Structure 1
């Protein structure tokens, strides 16, 4: 069974529409796909409507990736199998959206001082119905303002401590875990090897996540070397966390693709082990 539990659409910083993402999942023979846009559930009904027109079976998991704060780090918590109509979760995500909007306005102001007039309006236009993110600003700076690459944008302007960087005031990790679980979902620590921290801090993060009631950790995702893989597997076992797998897909590239190399270690229990449509198809 081919499973991918972390992907994005244009409703956050992905490049594909929900319809296009569903079709790509079919083309790549996925069996299960979770759409986990940043701090929004808005793309999920569109994806389900597209799947309803398809003859081939594809189990869509309703998800979301929530931005949180932990000891100065921006930590992402994925919610899987959430009730998209849960009032408390919807209110919480609305607040997250406002945090994103306010940060985007401040980034725009700083970029004007860097000589990029009108970039905020273009970033909001590019985001459209979706959440505006730093990636939207980066894409606009490359496309319309002559910056050489997305990487250069973050190294010169949007990265931590750079000229147009704005630190968002995200909620604590515990708040995201609580809202996900109250909406019937499972809280998953996203791509733990991608945070800029030492192994000591990573151990502390996973311990705090588990102590806060987190359910699972992503143990399979792109860019994971063997040593980090062993460490994350060890931490999952030590803290009795379920194992999840996701490409964090944003657009087709040589580095990431839906469902690619997402096997989890045999000694770990998959996050989907008791989901009826997956565990017992």
Structure 2
């Protein structure tokens, strides 16, 4: 079992399975975390805890890695989609269940709008095409990208986002997601921790990003993902100072979705800076 007093723990607290937009099953994800030497693991599928619940008993039996409940909440902040990771909460809490049901309905409505927009952009696609890829789950943009690649309408997933699904493109549909403050309250009502996800991935100036993190803190947020891959060293340094000033803890995670992307493999990310208290010391 992990030692919370160690200087560094391999804690991958951000990853995705087929319960949302990942390519591996929840069980395969847990087994991969074992293979990669992860000590603490969280499956944080988008707006659902189904994947976590499906492997909870397996993880209790196996023991290592220690499994933490997780979810990646979709929120809106000044018209932008900001993701907040919830960790170590009661996945069956009524507030969590209610919020997930609302979000899944919202995601389904958005999928129909995305299909209409992509059709108007000249693509050959239907809701049924994408639903066939998402299975029992609500379609997400990676499912759309996968279909466009599989049907030969774009070269690869990156091209799908660059031309059709990324920010400002036809498939970039803003929806009525809850506020950052709302999902923080829901997560904490269920006994959990709220984490500002992948701060380096938002298309905003550094000043606006810091302002957003300050709002996150004022709303009761607990930590920021600083232990990630591909973050500019200067941004990491600046955000480390911001977290120290705001007394925010640090989290780590790969944001793993699929096996063929080596730069976001499970466990492959920078350490949480040593001057920042890691969130896993609070995990029981």
- TM-score of the two chains, using structure 1 as the length reference: 0.93
> Which of 257, 264, 276 is residue 272 of structure 2 equivalent to?
264
Match of 2:98 in 1: 91
**Whole-Å separation in 2 of the counterparts to 1:113 and 1:68:** 27
Give the superposition deviation at 1:118.
Answer: 4.0
- Give SS of 2:209's match: helix
Distance 2:68 2:171 in 1: 36
CA RMSD of aligned residues (A): 1.5
Q: Give the structure 2 partner of residue 224 of structure 1.
A: 231
Q: Is the 8 A contact 1:38 1:131 kept in 2?
A: no
**Are 2:251 and 1:251 aligned?**
no
Query: Aligned pair count?
Result: 275
Preserved contact between residue 119 and residue 141 of structure 1 (Cα < 8 Å): no
| SS state at 1:217 partner | strand
CA distance in 2, matches of 1:70, 1:222: 24
Deviation at residue 165 of structure 1 after TM alignment: 3.0
What is the Cα deviation at residue 52 of structure 1?
Answer: 5.0
Cα distance in 2 between the residues matched to 1:63 and 1:80: 5
Aligned twin of 1:132: 139
Query: Match of 1:279?
Result: none
3-state SS, counterpart of residue 273 of structure 1: helix
Contact 1:83/1:183 (<8 A) preserved: yes
Contact kept, 8 Å, 1:120 with 1:137, in 2: the verdict is no
CA contact (8 A) 2:96 2:186 kept: yes
Deviations 1:140-199 (A, max 9, x none): 001014311112212221222223432222111100111000011000000111111111
Runs of 5+ unmatched residues, structure 1: 277-281
TM-score by length of 2: 0.92
Can you list the C-alpha shifts for 1:34-93, whole angstroms capped at 9, x where unaligned? 110000011112222443564x62200001000101112110000001101101111011
Residue in 2 that maps onto 1:179: 186
Does the alignment pair 1:77 with 2:47? no
**3-state SS in 1 of match to 2:268:** coil
